[in-house]
Amino acid sequence: MLPVPAEFGRLRVVLVASRNPLNIGAAARAMSNFGFLNLRVVNPYEIAFREARSAVGAAALLTDAEECKSVAEAVADCGLVVGTTAGHRRELRQPLQRLEHGASLIRKQLVSGRVALLFGSERVGLSNQDLSHCHWLMRIPTRAEHGSMNLGQAVAVCLYELVCAHNSVGTAEKEVPATARDLERFTGVLLEVLRASGYIHPGTATSAEEKVRRLVRRLNLEARDAEVWLGMLRQIAWKVRAEEKKEG
């Protein structure tokens, strides 16, 4: 019925800390329905994941699912990282896209590179720590009185919209975005310099770290630029370190 475009193979559906085997299985079924076959799970509740995997009729994609220890690991090879949210939380600090628009941005990106699409746990969704790895967030337009969707249904709706967002496949030369690994490296050196120069104080380290991570993701760095920025920052870090040694 629906021919599956080759670029669907570049999407990584990432389930973070899922607790319910039925929901993991349902997410996998929706993926199979819509032709997205690459699943990664971050710290699933171990028994739930085993049960989901051994369930009768579990798609091959569940068997092939990659288990990751952290969100950073699960998104490392992806040039675009998108989180999903019910969107009723007030404290969100990332750009928020409606699903229709976000899906067409993702489709564009899939033409040239990998994209990670993150779903949080059934109970609490994605944490601020998880969200800080995302370039932007996508929300499903549920109503305010009952915003929180079932995990399997949220996956189904997002992937359906991805299938339908066909308007996007342009022919223009695409820039290659920096991978999450590059961005994390850049973030690491930046944090070191900010600590050394007193911008980040030990007391506020965690929230500052998340803030900086989000800032870096909003830069939408291209791969070739990321390398240059990293080189600059390393030189600055070296200078700061050298000075500190002299002091010590």
| Residues 177 to 196 in contact with its own copies, rule: CB under 8 A | 190, 193-194, 196
Residue 5 near its own copies by CB under 8 A: no
Among 111, 153, 181, 185, binds its own copies (CB under 8 A): 153
Among 146, 202, 203, 248, binds its own copies (CB under 8 A): 146
Tokens standing for 4? 């599956």
Residue 246 near its own copies by CB under 8 A: yes
| Residues 160 to 179 in contact with its own copies, rule: CB under 8 A | 160-161, 163-164, 167, 170-173, 175
Q: Minimum Å distance from CB 41 to its own copies?
A: 19
Size, binding site for its own copies by CB under 8 A: 75
Rank residues 74 and 84 by Cβ distance to its own copies and give the closer one: 84
| Residues 44 to 73 in contact with its own copies, rule: CB under 8 A | 59
Per-residue string for binding with its own copies, 95-124, x by CB under 8 A?
xxxxxxx-----------------------
Residue 143 near its own copies by CB under 8 A: yes
Cβ contacts of 81 within 8 Å, gap of 6 or more = 75, 115, 116, 118, 133, 134, 135, 180, 217
Rank residues 10 and 74 by Cβ distance to its own copies and give the closer one: 10
Residue 207 near its own copies by CB under 8 A: no
Residue 30 near its own copies by CB under 8 A: yes
Residue 152 near its own copies by CB under 8 A: yes
Residue 147 near its own copies by CB under 8 A: yes
Q: Minimum Å distance from CB 98 to its own copies?
A: 6
Rounded CA-CA distance 165/232 in Å is 39
